[in-house]
Chains A and B, each alone.
Chain A
Amino acid sequence: MEGPITQATGHNNTIVSVYRDRVELRSGWQSQNVESVGLRDVAVIGIKGLVNVTLTIETNTGRVFQLNRMALPDARRIKNTFEQQKRRAGLYD
Chain B
Amino acid sequence: MRRLALLSTTVLLLVFALPGLAFAQEGPSTADLSLAMDTMWVIIAACLVLFMQAGFAMLEVGFSRMKNVGSVVAKILVNLAIAALLFWAVGFALAFGTGNAIIGTQGWFLAVSPGQVNDVYAGLSWTQVPLSAKFLFQVAFCAVSLAIVWGTMLERTKFAVYVVFAIVFAGLIYPMVGHWIWGGGWLTELGMQDFAGSTVVHLSGAMAALAGTLLLGPRLGKYDDDGRPVNIPGHNMPLAVLGVLILWIGWWGFNPGSTMAAVPDIADIALTTNLAAAAGVLGAMSMSYMYRRNVDVGMGGNGAIAALVAITAPCAFVAPWASIVIGFFAGVIMYATLVYVDKIGVDDPLGAIAAHGMGGIWGTLSCGLFTSPALAAVGEPGLFYGGGLYQLGIQALGIVAAGGFVFIASLAVFATLKATIGIRVKPEQELDGLDIHEHGVFGYPDLVATDYQNGNGKISEPMESVPEGSA
Chain A residues in the interface with B (C-beta under 8 A): 1-9, 11-13, 15, 17, 20, 28-31, 50-52, 69, 71-74, 81, 84-85, 87-88
Contacts and interface: CB of A to CB of B under 8 A. Distances in A.
Contacts of B462: 3
A4 B420 CA distance: 23
Contacts of B454: 1
18 contacts: A2-B464, A3-B461, A3-B462, A4-B463, A7-B463, A11-B217, A13-B221, A13-B223, A17-B427, A29-B225, A50-B419, A51-B415, A72-B418, A73-B420, A73-B421, A84-B469, A84-B470, A88-B470
Given A9-B427, A73-B422, A74-B424, 15 more contacts: A3-B463, A4-B464, A8-B426, A8-B427, A9-B426, A12-B227, A15-B220, A28-B225, A29-B230, A30-B221, A51-B418, A72-B418, A73-B419, A74-B422, A85-B466
B223 A12 contact: yes
Contacts of A28: 225
A34 B456 CA distance: 15
B221 A1 contact: no
Contacts of B424: 9, 71, 74
B448 to A, nearest CB: 20
Nearest to A77: B422
Nearest to A51: B415
Nearest to A29: B224
A88 B454 CA distance: 26
Nearest to A15: B427
Contacts of A88: 470-471
A85 B471 CA distance: 8
B461 A9 contact: no
Interface in B448-471: 454, 456, 460-464, 466, 469-471
Of B221, B418, B421, B456, the most chain A CB neighbours within 10 A belong to: B418
B215 interface: yes
A5 B464 CA distance: 5
Contact of B419 (A3, A72, A87): A72
Given A1-B461, A3-B461, A9 B223 contact: no
B401 to A, nearest CB: 25
A2 B335 CA distance: 45
Contacts of B470: 84, 88
Given A51-B419, A71-B422, A29 B466 contact: no
Interface string B422-434: 1110111010000
A71 B417 CA distance: 9
Q: Which of B423, B426, B456 has the most CB of A within 10 A?
A: B426
Contacts of A12: 223, 227
B306 to A, nearest CB: 29
A7 B428 contact: yes
A84 B426 CA distance: 19
